[in-house]
Structure 1
Amino acid sequence: MNVKKRPMRYAHTDGHTDVCYSDNGKYILTCGIDGDVRIWAGLEDDDPSSQCVGEQALTVVCKNDHYYVGTDNNNVQAYSFPGSDRDGIISRFTAAVTHIAISNDGKRIVAGSSDMEIHVSNVGTSKTTVLTGHKAPILGVALDPKDKYVASSSCDGTVRVWTIDDTQTVHSWNCVPVCNAFLAAKCLGRPSWQPKTGHYLAVPHGKEIRIYERETWNKVLSFSHDQVKQDFSISAYSPCGNYLAGCTSGGDICVWNVNLHTCVMSTRHDRGYRICGLAWNPGGNGEIAYCDVMGQLGTIEDCIPSASQDNSSVTQEKTMTVDDMIHLNPIDDDDDDDNENVISLDKIKAELSQPSFFGDNDKLSHAVADDDDDVESKISGVARIAPVCDLQPPFQPSSTPVHLQHRFMVWNSVGIVRCYSTEDENSVDVEFHDTSLHHALHINNFFKHTMATLTDEVLVLACEIQDEAPSKVVCVLLNSWDGSKEWSVDLPEGEEALAIAAGKGWLAVATDTRNLRLFTVAGTQREVVSLPGPVVCVAGHRNRLLTVFHNGMGLPGDQSLGFAVFSLGSGQLQVLTAFQPLSMTPKSTLKWAGFSDEGTPFTLDSAGIIRMFSRKSFWLPLCDTQAHCKGKSDHYFVLGISEKCQNVRCVLCKGSYYPPTTPRPAVAEISLKLPMCEATTEKSVMEERFWRLQLACSTTGDMCKMGLDSFNDKDALDRSIKETVIKLFALACRSGFEYRAVEICDLMPSHHVVQLAMKYASKLGKMNLADKVAEVATRKVDEREQGFQNDQVDNIYTLRYASDMESRFLPSRSMSLEESSSTYGTKVNHLLENATNASTESESLLLAATKQKKCEAQTEIKPLMSLGQKRLNPFKKSVARVESSRGLANLDALYAQQKSDKNKCNSILEQPPPPQKTKIKQTTLSALKPADSPAVRTTAKKLPTFFEWYEKEKDALAEEFPDLSASELSRQGMKRFKGSIQSDTQVPVTNSSAESQTPVPETKKRKSEEESGLHEENPPKKTITSSSSKLMAFAFKKS
């Protein structure tokens, strides 16, 4: 359709300008930043009447014989039309009035101001209703034709719908770019009601105008244009309600037929200036008047088809619907059973999925053809269209919106990238937290980059398609050894970059064609991945890449997002987590996505919930940032997350989602916390701490497997977990919940902790509970042994911590393991031997404890109690220190004795029957550690254990050695028991081992015949040999 665009002319000085028509459409009224209101008798009027109303006039509206002006005098002033005489003040504010709307009858006026208030005034009664709730200056207002609702847009980024009677907000949308002043706003976001009925509300939303249904506020349609590159700023329904006009901040003006859902006119400002005023001629001639920010006035004629063209197009559409489309998609005859002469257009449209028709009727009626009415003359709305969910646009994590003049392009743990896009400057500043990594950078933003990502290797910048220039990606190398500083690449024609990310040795670019392009940091192109949906954001960490994309159409108000995690290590691309849905809070959007310092994926939605993707492939909430905000409109801007420190690094934004660049905001830390029920109780606090530490321990364990030095962190987390679970067990015991206490034992990380719980239950006198706990400990020991047999690789990995755990709970036993392990040749055999001994000792602990409870009469064995009380070598005497002072005098003899002991141990290990091998190990450990408690002594399956043997031989030993103490008597019994075991197994030995063992029975025979005085001399010699053997072994290793 050919439109007549009249040349623009000067109307006011540079700045915001507004325009409106008189009721008859003969006059055009304009106001500008110069404070004047001019009345034009057409665009070619060279002598318009002018009236000075203040220093600045920001808005004007005309109705009947008055026009109303909003000025910087903070009031709405009424003037007569066309005489321009003052006729009173309608409403007063505390800041400049920014926009005015008036009802059809002229009795009610709505005005918005920079003081964030909206006044609804009755001209006849002078009664004013105040609407408060916006957090920034008002940009535009629109009054419902039925005087029930008011729609408003604000600098706080929202468009709200208010009820006039109760002054409450019934619905709101976040669709306006955030700014801090009316004159600084590039997009006004002014809504418009459908005339007469007000059944639909048009709201600018990015690069489209969306139509929402009254009462339900569901989106039913959206209008856009392929040539539009900037956001729509103003929407306006035509007086008849069949057409909708919209203008953008880039100078585009479009007109759509809302019935046919087609664009009938599109034009652009000659110089691309922002349109700040738009009005339809109420005469219905299809004329539109508009103003730009340079104070110029222009008109466009014939924006809508003539009546004959419009009727013919509608007739053709209806004829096509009734005659031709039935053949394309036949309709079931059952639909017209009630009346064969009735043709229902809404049923036909529903079958063919045609757009809705928006008529002037308040109800969506059916078009019925009969003998008296022509079907072609009664077109009204038909089938309703299902609400469409608004797809979230792509964004860069830890960045602020693009429309801001001063913004953060990225703020992470490496540094801060700021962008300044003003009329005087367009540059990018890079600041590093660690100046030793690289000095600060200042880059002229010639390509108008809007995206950035920063690592310790590269700075990556990307821009969108601009006019005829393609989308470009620029990579600045920070630590290049060959002297090259940067490289760039142009994306294919028609492909635009939407999100970028970088990691260790790679960078990724997600485009609007659903391609994920990978590059090396030096510029080599890698794989190109096709994403299953439009990208939302991407994030990188070391060799991992997180992608978030739209996974389909979600429920009304919800976003259906999916994600995937890739691995880019070793030059190959692999999928770590397959494409699957992303968990989010209902009715929310994604605000941040990335990795923690340890490499775990995290997300933040608009509801303030931070979620973590655990190592077991499920999402769980870890923090509610809104719970830490004092105001409802406050939010936290996430910078990074640390699982080691269990906190979130973020910036508090008061009244907004994003922080300002100046002054530099302070970084705060929020502790991670699982959302437990009854979170303030002692039980819930410890449960939350336990599970949160479990997650951190799992992450740290994976880092250790990857070769990262995190063993100290894992040890600290293990200690914290054990302390917390023991406290939970104690709380359950004190509260009388023994069943719960046994359940807590199942959650304990090892059988050693279960043994501590068993001792605690025994001290409280809860013997039934102690028996149940002992069963749990036995089961954990069996599971541990089975795990060692099935997975030796994991065994070797986890044994890094096994020695620390044993030294923490069984220090003397851990020392004996170190001594016995010195006889093995390789490190792996040493670890496996320690694991076998540890599992055997754990089993003996449980068996001994069970025997103590069953045989209460035998629990008064004094040697065993004294051994249990002294864990740290009770047989060590002061004489040993004097003897050890002789030091290296007997190194040759000691070396020979150590060699014989090694040969003896090797000969024992070569025994083929497994039970005998186990017995030998138990005997060796008992010989090295006679000071262990009775619960630590090992048992055998076929041969009697020392515990059973000592019970039988105790009286005989006491008669044979009446002068020995309880500890010395048990020590003498241990020697006898070792001798009997060795004779029963009949282990073949070499000459050297036989010679080394020869003095042992002689010593026993001499002790059986001599008095206790000789007995006191021999034990120190044995102690000397033990300590000196250690010294000799150390000297041998060093040589």
Structure 2
Amino acid sequence: MSATGSLRGPVFSHQAGQTSVNYSPDGKHLYTIGSNDCIRKYTTTSTDEPVSIETADNNTCIVSSNDQIISCSEDCSVSLFSASTNTLSKLIVRTNLPCRDVALSPDGAWVAVASDDHIVKVVKITDTRQLLILRDQTNSNKHVSFHPSGNYLTVSCTDGIIYVYSLTKAVPELIKKIDGVIPRTETTDEASAKVAWHPDGRAFAAPTGTREIVIVSRDNWTKQKSFSNEHSGEITDLAWSPNGAFLASAGKDGKVVIWESKDMTAVAAYPHKNVCSLAWHPTDNTISFTTNEGRLYTLQNAVSGSIAGRLKLSLRPAPLLDEDAPAPVRTRSPNPVDALFGGPMSEDEEDAASLDDFIEDDDNGGYLEPGLLGKRKAAGLLTDPTSFKRPTLGASWSPAIHEPFQPSSTPWRGKRRYLCLNMVGFAWTVDQGTHNTVTIEFHDRGSYRNAHFTDQFLYDKACLNEGGALFSCQPDDNKPAMLYYRPHESWGTRGDWRTSLPEGEEITSIALSEGYVVACTSAGYVRVYTLFGIPFRLYRQKNTPVVSCASYRDYVMVLGNGAVAADGKTQLTYSLFNIKRDETLQENDIIALPSGGGVRNVFFSDQGDPMVYDTDGVLMVLLHWREMGQARWTPLLDTKQLERLAGGRKEETYWPVAVAQERLHAIILKGGEQYPFFPLPLLSEFPFRLPLTNIPLKEGATSTPEDLEETYLRHSTLLALQHDSAAARVLDVDERVDIANKENSIDRALIQLLMLACKEEDQNEKALEICGLFRQKRSLEMAVKVALKYDKGVLAGKIQEKIGEVMEED
């Protein structure tokens, strides 16, 4: 066994304690972290002193991409740093107990966090409110590791069990629990239970309690071969070479061993004690490792002799029992034409290939720098399936679409889920194995009677209003999809009805108003029925697949997938119809969403205005929606700017339920939760606050210019909605009084802004502009008095001229 590499070091990086080492994917920088409060950033081509980046104490792990650094600490924080400015960018997430390990997804977009908690958090870096929670572990978590495709995540638990999750759906799914491989450990132990995925993705390596490293196949999750008979102490870390040709491991026996993957034999062993973290250089024949003494060493020419050339080959297959099984790898040929037609190369030919062949990402295997990986997002990680993948050579391409959803429903969690949540009540279902049981509960139990019934049809969608409840189920075996309506006042009679859809047609979304039942289907149809089950309208939506729908009185809004945008995602569109008059108010207009954003809920307010709540936590209303071509989306509330979230005091998101009385009624989700669960939390109210500045606005505050400007613009927006409603119908007395009150509120805020402007010496022109925004003539007369009070005689004269102009117009 050869061991002729040259060892550089030690470099005294940190204090004694746990350390971690990581290379940037381009190999330009090496990062270490330890128990002191800094990250050390080394330039691999320089011998200069490292850059120190201030961070938390007692750090436990570090990962990086080419432009960002992520660290975790025992103080329960996971932090993001800029690799270009060497400064803290933001806090990504906090855990309840100390963090132990972090893993970065292959596309660099998500980070998984293992901690002493029994849950694992997977957080989107650019939007930390997008959070996945893995809950099936029964003990503390020690390690996390992404599959090279990003479709799977493994969690190594202290109870000796490996949990394998599929991330290809909106809700992560536990697909396998692997027992009997990794040892039982404590989170603070130096012994490793780490899962190291082979770069080809077909298998992973993991240490055992018997000082071996076993290979576990992804096909059947069974143990295959093992690297054995070298370590006599517990294994502290292991890592594959970038092309999977070699495996490096360190142990408490004071050795760093390099294994050849194909034959599973040790080809080099370097004596060194206390190694707790090691990493391969992405392009060079170099391994760096750190010790629990806080020291960094670099092993150059780690693989020596003739076998070193294997590091220059393309991706090597994982060592499995079935050697004939084809690896998901397309070998590289020096001739582009041969490569295009899949011409294979022999191993000798590959050995003779030029250095340009080194670790080519010719199979999209996911082991190059995130600059390339960023072009292919991990499938299914996003809560709304809008990720875009660049097609590989010869592959067909299809755009990423917005998947259908039912407003206010939640996915299964355990054997329960909410079918509907709104201001009237909520409907929920329980999986009983052979059937479900559905329960309807009302907030006003004095006016309505709760209902509970056995569900043999397995309803998966529901709507609830003051008149009745609507359910739908999907086709199953020889049974077609079906709608079921139950009026509240007829629970004991035969007032309910069912209707079936044509064979093979699935129901994607349903809606219920005071006069109609609406069902959108997989065929693109929008089916409208009266409350007695009579088919009333039937048409095919132009933009399909249909995403969702909502209705109010005679109106229905349907969301669909529109044209493909530049990022490869379909644009989310909406159409608005008056069912009774058979009129189209808006057709195939675009919902104004940020890049990569989606819609979490769609509904009508208590005043009948269309609303959406997006995945960024912004509530928007559709202004001027009754006029064709005039509608536009206007934000009414950005929940990220709530005062309760200022300074990172709280980690919470909001589940929108309804909009009523100029407030968003929502459920507060804490601790990274994505959906409400049982028992149903209380609803919280959030008054509208337009996002005008980055200063969190306090409820009821009206003293600062920012507060007054927000008050003016908010009431102007709400007044425009009421004027639109007044033009379409006859208002009652209370509604007319409300319009007058809003006009008073607008002018009151403007008068206060005028007073602030008059206090300044150089704000006369602004003061005059404010006067042009008044809604009432009497406010101009009051403005003259304000100007005279502050000795602004010229301004008073200008305002008086405006009064004259107004009188002439009248």
TM-score bracket for this pair, using the shorter chain length: 0.5 to 0.7
Distance 1:604 1:559, change over 3 A: farther
- Correspondent of 2:608 among 599, 605, 612: 599
Return the alpha-carbon distance in structure 2 between the equivalents of residues 312 and 594 of structure 1: 46
In structure 1, what is the Cα distance between the partners aligned to 2:134 and 2:105? 28
Is the contact between residue 404 and residue 546 of structure 2 (CA under 8 Å) also seen in structure 1?
Answer: yes
3-state secondary structure, aligned to 2:800:
helix
Q: 2:754 aligns with which of 708, 729, 744?
A: 729
Instruction: Return 652-661 or 136-145, whichever deviates more.
Output: 136-145
What does residue 540 of structure 2 align with? 529
Matching residue of 2:651 = 633
Instruction: Summarize the Cα distance change of 1:313–1:416 in structure 2 as closer, same or farther, 3 Å threshold.
Output: closer
Matching residue within 613, 628, 631 for 1:617: 631
Q: How does 1:177-326 map onto structure 2 within 5 Å? A: 179=135, 182=137, 200-204=148-152, 233-234=175-176, 242=200, 244=202, 278-279=221-222, 281-282=224-225, 310=326, 322=337
In structure 2, the residue corresponding to 1:202 is in which secondary structure?
coil
3-state DSSP class of the match of 1:621? strand
Higher strand share: 2
Maintained 8 Å contact 2:123/2:132: no
Alignment of 1:731-746 (within 5 A): 731-736=756-761, 737-746=763-772
Per-residue displacement from partner, 1:513-542 (whole Å, max 9, x unpaired)?
Answer: 443332222222322232414343322222
Q: How far off its partner does 1:405 sit? A: 3.0
Distance 1:364 1:722 in 2: 53
| Residues 246-267 of structure 1, C-alpha deviations (whole Å, 9 max, x = no match) | 9xxxxxxxxxxxxxxxxx9999
Partner Cα separation in structure 1 for residue 328 and residue 137 of structure 2: 45
Identical-residue share of aligned pairs (%):
20
User: Cα RMSD (Å) of the superposition?
Assistant: 5.6
Asked if the contact 2:665/2:683 (under 8 Å) is kept, the reply is yes
**Pairwise mapping of residues 165-176 of structure 1 onto structure 2 (< 5 A)?**
176=132
CA distance in 1, matches of 2:741, 2:111: 59
Q: Closer, same or farther in 2 for the Cα pair 1:532/1:364, shift >3 Å? A: closer
Distance 1:662 1:171, change over 3 A: closer
Conservation of the 8 A alpha-carbon contact between 1:546 and 1:563: no
Displacement of 1:696 in angstroms is 1.9
1:305-327 Cα deviation digits (max 9, x unpaired): 97668599979x9999948989x
Match of 1:700 among 701, 722, 729: 722
Q: Structure 1 residues 202 and 406 mapped into 2: Cα distance closer, same or farther (>3 Å)?
A: same
Secondary structure of the residue aligned to 2:508 is strand
Q: Would you say the 8 A contact 2:473–2:482 is kept in 1?
A: yes
Against the structure 1 CA distance between its residues 531 and 734, is the aligned structure 2 distance closer, same or farther, given a 3 Å change threshold?
same
Compared CA separation, residues 389 and 405, structure 1 to 2 (3 A): farther
Higher relative CO (Cα under 8 Å, sequence separation at least 6) belongs to 2
- Confirm or deny that 1:518 pairs with 2:536: no
Preserved contact between residue 402 and residue 572 of structure 2 (Cα < 8 Å): no
Q: Does structure 1 retain, via aligned residues, the 8 Å contact 2:440–2:451?
A: yes
Amino acid paired to 1:281: Q
The answer to whether 1:507 aligns with 2:530 is no
Q: Deviations over 1:20-45 (max 9, x none)?
A: xxxxxxxxxxxxxxxxxxxxxxxxxx
Residue 672 of structure 1 is matched in structure 2 by 688
Is the CA contact (8 Å cut-off) linking 1:395 and 1:498 kept in structure 2?
yes
Within 2, Cα distance between the matches of 1:415 and 1:518?
Answer: 24
Q: Tell me which amino acid in the other structure corresponds to 1:182.
A: Q
Residues 118-175 of structure 1 show CA distances to partners (whole Å, capped at 9, x for unaligned) of 9889xxxxxx9869467589999998999x99956797674369xxxxxxx8998968
Q: Distance in 2 between matches of 1:543 and 1:653?
A: 33
Tell me, in whole angstroms, the C-alpha distance in 1 between the residues paired with 2:417 and 2:639: 23
Structure 2 counterparts to residues 60-459 of structure 1, below 5 A? 132=76, 135=95, 158-159=121-122, 176=132, 179=135, 182=137, 200-204=148-152, 233-234=175-176, 242=200, 244=202, 278-279=221-222, 281-282=224-225, 310=326, 322=337, 356=363, 358=365, 392-422=402-432, 426-435=436-445, 437-459=447-469
Give yes or no for contact 2:712–2:749 (8 Å, CA) kept in 1: yes
Distance 1:178 1:144 in 2: 16
Q: Does 1:751 align with 2:714?
A: no
- Deviation of 1:497 after TM superposition, in Å, equals 1.9
The structural deviation recorded for 1:545 is 2.0
Aligned letter for 1:730? M
Q: Does structure 2 conserve the Cα–Cα contact (< 8 Å) formed by 1:510 and 1:516?
A: yes
Q: Amino acid of the residue matched to residue 676 of structure 1?
A: L
User: What TM-score do you get using the length of structure 2 for normalisation?
Assistant: 0.55
Distance 1:470 1:738 in 2: 71
Distance 1:732 1:233, change over 3 A: same
Matched, 1:716 2:671: no
In the TM superposition, residue 499 of structure 1 has moved relative to its aligned partner by 1.9
Return the match for 2:713 from 688, 691, 696: 691
Quote the Cα distance in structure 1 between the aligned partners of 2:672 and 2:706. 33
Q: Shift of the alpha carbon at 1:694? A: 1.4
Question: How far apart in 1 are the matches of 2:102 and 2:792?
Answer: 74
> Is contact 2:550-2:603 (8 Å) kept?
yes
- Aligned position for 1:92: none
- Name which of 581, 588, 599 aligns with 2:590: 581
**Structure 1 residues 768-803: Cα deviation after superposition (integer angstroms, max 9, x where no partner):** 223322332333344x4xxxxxxxxxxxxxxxxxxx
In 1, Cα distance between equivalents of 2:219 and 2:457: 28
Q: Say whether the 8 Å CA contact 1:458–1:521 is kept in structure 2.
A: no
Note the alpha carbon deviations across 1:632-655, whole angstroms, 9 max, x for none.
Answer: 53112222213xx33222222221
Question: What corresponds to 1:5 in structure 2?
Answer: none
Match for 1:641: what amino acid?
V
Q: Are residues 1:770 and 2:792 paired?
A: no
Q: Find the aligned partners of 2:637 and 2:105 in 1 and give their Cα distance.
A: 45
Q: Which runs of 5+ in 1 are unaligned?
A: 1-116, 122-127, 162-168, 195-199, 210-221, 247-263, 268-277, 286-302, 327-340, 366-380, 785-838, 840-1039
Q: What SS is found at the alignment partner of 2:588?
A: strand
What displacement does 1:747 show?
Answer: 0.6
Change (3 A) 1:345 1:459: farther
Change (3 A) 1:738 1:404: farther
CA deviation digits over 1:842-866, x for unaligned, max 9?
xxxxxxxxxxxxxxxxxxxxxxxxx
Contact 1:119 1:131 in 2 (8 A): no
User: Residue 635 of structure 1 aligns to which amino acid in structure 2?
Assistant: T
Q: 2:428, 2:667 → 1: CA distance?
A: 16
User: Is 2:654–2:666's contact at 8 Å kept on the other side of the alignment?
Assistant: yes
TM-score, length-scaled by structure 1: 0.44
Q: CA deviation at 1:582?
A: 1.9
Alpha-carbon distance between aligned partners in 2 of 1:502 and 1:136, rounded to the nearest angstrom: 42
Structure 2: how far apart are the matches of 1:359 and 1:748? 60
CA distance in 2, matches of 1:540, 1:514: 17
**Aligned match of 2:552 in 541, 559, 573?**
541
d(CA) in 2 for partners of 1:155, 1:563:
40
The number of residues matched between the two structures is 546
**Cα 1:758/1:584, change in 2 over 3 Å:** same
Is 2:480–2:504's contact at 8 Å kept on the other side of the alignment?
Answer: yes
> Counterpart amino acid of 1:638?
P
Partner of 1:96: none
1:733 to 1:142, Cα distance in 2 relative to 1, 3 A: closer
